[in-house]
Amino acid sequence: MQVKSVTIQEWREYEESLPDYSFFQLPLWSQVYAFVYPSCEIATQLFTFDDGVKVLLPLVETNYKFGFKSYESLPMGGYGGFLWNRKPSANQIRQILKYILNIKVLSLAIYPNPLEWQYLRFLQDNGFKARNTFTHILELDKPDILWENLTHSCKKDIKRAQRENLKLTEGKFSDLKQYYYGMYRNSAKRWDMKENGMIPLVFFQNLMLSGRDNVKLFFVEADGEKVAGVIMGYGKGESFQWHAASHYQYENMRPNNFWEWEVIKDAYKRGYKIHNFGASVGLPGVQAFKESFGAVKIDYKYFIYESPLLKLYRWSK
């Protein structure tokens, strides 16, 4: 087995040779995360075997005292996991894990694509614990079928928004402060989120600055006023709504229904097969909103390895 710490260019070239990958598996996500959080760095590895099997594992490494490290694929619950040109054998997987899980590794978290998590069940036979989570996914069919997927109340809210002459516009980098300090901060207060729990502005800025065609900021405008916004991430075959916020006082115009329907149609036109609504942070109203667009709740698992040393430390605490 050959192991290589890949360059960003090699990472991109390898991904482009594969039929699918998530927005989070792009080098972009790890680059931004490592830039914003100084204790972290990119540790992505490419494993090559004699039979031609190649396995890329996107990793972000967090450094601690005395040389100890933790790894995530990928941080903030971003869909990571193994990317392979051909499914590796059980013995090859064991070789990969043995290489990564050395004595200085405290933990390794794998957050897989919800549609591919079952391929990673083998992790449970290698010391990982499986934990439950879910997301909402909409398969992008023909436009008329998409409309039929909507509930009656959702269609009604979209038509109401259209009567308000709302408009979807693409935001620029310079608009991020308005999105952050206006919509996101006000929304965070409604969600009872403390300011130190918010994603920092510099993360948004670097994501959009480096994202090119893989990151888009959209606004809903009413009479020239920005009333809601969403940040979209695009992988290969999948659109992902990563972040959204709005001004509560314009809620009666149904701007959220409006942008949701517009970005779904846009993703279909751009040839994406799936629209991923992302996590719902346990809020029943948010789940119901997504399901009103025909999104299906997908239960899946993510996987956590914890070293004996970390378990002993927690037990002692």
Mean pLDDT value across residues 280-291: 84
Average pLDDT for 233-259: 94
| Domain match, 76 and 197 both | no
- pLDDT (tens digit per residue) in 132-152: 999 999 999 888 889 999 999
Kindly state whether residues 193 and 238 are assigned to the same domain.
Answer: yes
Domain ranges, residue 257: 141-272
CATH of the domain at 210: 3.40.630.30
Look at residue 228 and give its three-state secondary structure.
strand
- pLDDT number for residue 282: 67
Angle between helix 27-36 and helix 201-211 axes, rounded to 10 deg: 150
Model's pTM, two decimal places? 0.92
Lookup result for tokens 């065609």? 213
Q: What is the pLDDT of residue 213?
A: 87
**pLDDT the model gives residue 281:** 67
What does the buried/exposed string (b/e) look like for 229-247 if buried means 16 or more CB atoms within 10 Å of the residue's CB? bbbbbbbbebbbbbbbbbb
* Structural domains in the chain (count): 2
What digits encode the pLDDT tens for the residues 50-104?
999 999 999 999 988 778 899 999 999 889 999 999 999 989 999 999 999 987 8
Pick the last residue of a domain from 272, 290, 308. Answer: 272
Tell me the backbone φ, ψ of residue 76, rounded to 5 degrees.
60, 30
Q: Give the mean pLDDT of the chain.
A: 92
Tell whether 287 is covered by a domain. Answer: no
- Whether 293 is covered by a domain: the verdict is no
Residue 277 within a domain = no
Q: What are phi and psi of 236, to 5 degrees?
A: -110, 100
* Domain identity same for 124 and 187: no
> What are the residues facing 219 on neighbouring strands?
169, 229
Cα gap 290→136, rounded to integer Å: 7
